[in-house]
Amino acid sequence: MRTITIDVIDEKVLNLLRDLELLKLIKLRESRHEEESDAIDWTKYKGAMSKQPLSDINQQLNELRNEWE
């Protein structure tokens, strides 16, 4: 069995696909919105962290690493 994705341009084609499904030639599955979009909406994270100098970030990372040793 192979899986393919079809972009439906005309809604009339859905009837044809359903007929093929009734003949047990294909199986239709509705795709979920999460699966369709691989892009991440980064705008919801905007402003989550304040801008810091790179030296401060490196210092904080080193402190965190040293806590585990």
pTM: 0.43
Phi–psi pair at 25, nearest 5 degrees: -95, -30
Q: Mind spelling out the 3-state secondary structure of 24-41?
A: CCCCCCCCCHHHHCCCCC
Q: How far apart are CA 31 and CA 48, in angstroms?
A: 31
Q: What is the pLDDT of residues 21-66, one digit of tens each?
A: 999 999 998 776 555 556 777 788 887 878 889 999 999 999 999 9
pLDDT band at 3 (very low <50, low <70, confident <90, very high): confident
